[in-house]
Amino acid sequence: MSAAAPSPSPEPAQRLLVLGSTSRYRRELLQRLHLRFEVASPDVDETPNAGEHPRELALRLALAKAQVVAARFPAAVVIGSDQVADLDGLALGKPGTHDRAVEQLRHMRGRSVVFQTAVAVVCQDTGFQQVELAPVRVRFRDLSDAEIEAYLEREQPYDCAGSAKSEGLGISLLDAIDSDDPTALVGLPLIRTCRMLRAAGVKLL
């Protein structure tokens, strides 16, 4: 009588995945990976430090957001992200109002802007922590005041760094986009996110 084949070992349970952001744009991007995840709001002061470059600001805030949420969910794998529009070293954040959006777009017209998009992945229980930057260089058209007003009236992108949503009508404001991580401009660089999630032990496929 032959011995019964050993039962396959059960796969280890997947850790809870938490997106440390209330941005609907990041939530929609992460949904593309078909992973179950929860959303938590990171309570982080986003004020730049004195003399802090936009690149360093984005990296610091992405990691801080992930760390703050990971402290509340120590067994989870937590994603934090931040984006800062960088105009020759000047940080442009979310405009919040129509007037500030007009001012931002007037400053950027005819110029190149680097959208410094950072993503961090943290798991407190395992000590895993990584953060990466996905810079996106964008060249704006030489926009007229009338084009700026028409765009803002239609799309009202007041919750977007740099006052433009490339996934919508904002694409009409641009001459070129240069990036090695296509979703970075929308707010979450998925190529880098996937790489770090795999390193943290999250099974994607």
Reported confidence tier of residue 1, pLDDT bands at 50, 70, 90? very low
6 lies in some domain? no
Residue 150 located in a structural domain: yes
Domain of 185: which CATH number?
3.90.950.10
Q: What is the pLDDT of residues 125-138, one digit of tens each?
A: 999 999 999 999 99
Task: Name 30's Cβ contacts closer than 8 Å, sequence gap at least 6.
Answer: 19, 37, 79, 188, 190, 193
Model confidence at 161, pLDDT cuts 50, 70, 90, reads confident
pLDDT of residue 2 exceeding 70: no
Q: Is there a domain that residue 176 lies in?
A: yes
Residue 12 lies in a domain: no
Residue 86 in this model has a pLDDT that exceeds 90: yes
Total count of domains within the chain: 1
The answer as to whether 93 is a domain residue is yes
Is 10 part of any domain? no
Q: What residue numbers bound the domain in which 130 lies?
A: 17-199
Asked, for residue 34, whether it belongs to a domain, the answer is yes
Annotated active-site positions, please? 82
| Burial bucket for residue 195 (CB in 10 Å: 0-12, 13-18, 19+) | middle
Name which of 2-6, 156-160, 189-193 the model is least confident about: 2-6
- Tell whether 125 is covered by a domain: yes
Provide the whole-model pTM.
0.88
CA distance 189 to 120: 10
The answer on pLDDT for 12 being more than 70 is: no
Q: What tens digit of pLDDT does each residue of 164-193 get?
A: 889 899 999 999 999 999 999 999 999 999
